[in-house]
Every structure is written in structure tokens, then in C-alpha cells.
Amino acid sequence: MQWSESYLMQTYARYPLCLVRGEGARVWDAEGKEYLDFTSGHVVLGLGHCHPRVVGMIREQAATLTNVSNLFHSPPGIHLAKLLVERSFADRVFFSNSGAEANEGAIKLARKYAKETFSSDRYEIIATRNSFHGRTLATLTATGQEKVWHGFEPLVPGFKHVPYNDLRAVERAIDNRTAAVLVEPIQGEGGVVVPDDGYLPGLRKLCDAAGILLILDEIQTGMGRAGALWAYQHSGVAPDIMTLAKALANGIPIGATLATEAVAAILTRGSHGSTFGGSPFATAVGLTTLTTVLEENLPERAARVGRFLIGRLEAMRQTHPLIKQVRGRGLLIGIELTAPAAPVVTRCRERGLLVLTAGDTVVRLAPPLIVSERDVERALGILDSALGEAVP
């Protein structure tokens, strides 16, 4: 850890913990202490640590073919794109390396579509406050949190921010310069905020009426995390563009921008690219991950275990006045407190449970979709103790 402080850029407030091994929903530190990982590697490991099918594919593909230029065809990427299309609204897929790169591609696609379909003055993206879309310059500009902007101004022009879950605010913001609306179907970093049932259908209607695109950032909610394969499926409407990353290859870096045929056709040869995006290695692992999620019906499992967790946390709210609200969908759950969340996160870690914050006052639970009932019960016990000790 001393070398970490000495040699790595200090862009993260790392916990005093050095993790060296993982299996399923558990990790171990350098001293051999065991922890329940209810962070899933920051919502990346839907299948948990070192899932046997993923490990097997990593070994197999690493020994077969890791990377080729995108000037050549490669079977794993083709098969993963086909499966994503068959299981979503989309007709086409562009592979990249991360969520930020996937969102960057979505922003570029929306701008080019609006300029070529309507006029060169149509380029603005409406995003929401407290959203999070990435750390590149365009995606941090799209992010609706001023704290991520500081020091990087001037920001990329052409973004507006409106309150989340407020259709009237979106309606007022749309004008003849608007190209698209970009939202998360559930705000993750912004505090695990689930919108009203009519929000996404309302956005769809507003976008259709104005002839603009609806982009859904499913980087955190996709791959079954929200109790359906894609969170938008809860709403009954589909986007024009969707972005994926995090859990798509269960820990191997990958991003994906999915779109309808009409929108995807705007990106012609040479207009966009990614050197490492869509490598045989990453897409082979992604294909194994998505196949496993589907074959083991993990979205349904996430919905069932999530309902149980939320029910138990709601019951806990009766005895812990520190809990203001419990919210979430599937296995993306936020516990909003009446006090800062960091002390509770620290007490949980000391007792062997790793959880995240989401904003200043929300404890975020995101266990792997394969988490066992026994581990959920153990986590609830640790949370109960940590909340009890955190009362001022």
C-alpha cells in the first residue's frame, strides 16, 4: 500500500485494504481476512469473482487469439453482437473499451445523426442533474455533477442539465438545437434513484414528438443488474441508443454502443473507431458472460433476491432511525441515511462487508447476481450492527 501511495496518481481515495484474491461473492486481503464483496468490483462482476466459465474462456481465448485489427473479421465479436441484437431493441453494435468510451460514441452518434438528418445547428444533448456518464471530457460534461467538472473547464459545449424524473423540465429544455436526451434508467452514482413509472415512457413521447433521439446509459443497470436483462424493459419502451460496459465481460474491459439501424447507419466507414474495441479476447469473454447470465436466468434471480433484500432493509428501517429511505431495483439498492454514509461503509468494511457510497448519504449495495441467500443474511447482520453503531 505504501508503494501505491508513492507511485500511483492519487485520483482515488483508496481504502486501507489490499485485496489479493476473490471467489464468487467473497474476496480476501493480503492478511487473509475474508470479506463479502457487495460492490461487485464497482458493479462490474455480475457473475462474481473468478466464475469458472469466465476463467475457462479467458484461458482458452488468451491461448487462441487476443487481438486483431478491426480491419479483419473476428468470430467472438460477431457472435456477441448477434446475441446483443437478438436480446435487445438494437440492430447494430459498436464495441469499445469502457463505459466512458461507449457514451462518447453515443454522443458522437447522436450529434452526427441530428446534423445529417436535420441541420448543423442541432447538436445539444439534454442530460440530468446528479447523473454520471464517464470521465472523458465529453462524458464528464454530460455528467450532471459539478464536482467532476472542476479544473477541466472549459467543458465541451452543447450540454444542458435538467432535474431527473422531471418530464416538464425536459419538455422546456427541448428546442431546435436539441439532438438527444441522455439518461440512466436508474441513477446509480447519483444515489440509486429509481424514476417514476411514467418517466421513461414520457421521455420516449417527448423525443418522438421532437424528432430527437433517446439514449439510455445502461452501463450500471444492464446485464440483469436491475432485475431484467436491460432496465429499460421495465418501462415498456425502448431507446434509440443504449450504452453498456461494466458487467458485459465480467471484469474484462469492454464497452458497447447499441443502436437501431436507422441511427447506426449514420456512422459510415472511417467516421468512428477504437483500436482495442471489440478484440477477440474481450468479446469472447463478453459472449461467455452474457450466455451465462441468460442460461442461468440471473435477471430473474436478481429481481427475487433484490425484493428480499429491500424487504429486509425496509423492516430494518423501523429500528434504525438513521435510515431515511430504501430504494432500488434488482440488486442495485440504495440505503439513504439521515447522516453521512462513509462511517457506515467503514464499519461494514471492518466487519467484513464491502459496500459503496452513492453520493454523500447513500450506502449502495450491488452484490454479484449469483450471491447466495446465506451471504445476503450475513450481510444484513453486518449492516444491522454497523447502522446501530453509527447512530450519533
Closest-CA residue to 76 (of 315, 289, 318, 333): 289
- Measured CA to CA in angstroms, residue 93 lies from 18, 134, 330 at distances of 37, 19, 26
| Cβ contact 100:133 at 8 Å | yes
| 135: CB partners within 8 A, 6+ apart | 100, 148
- Tell me which residue of 221, 227, 192, 162 sits closest to 324, measured CA to CA: 192
Active site residues: 132, 217, 246
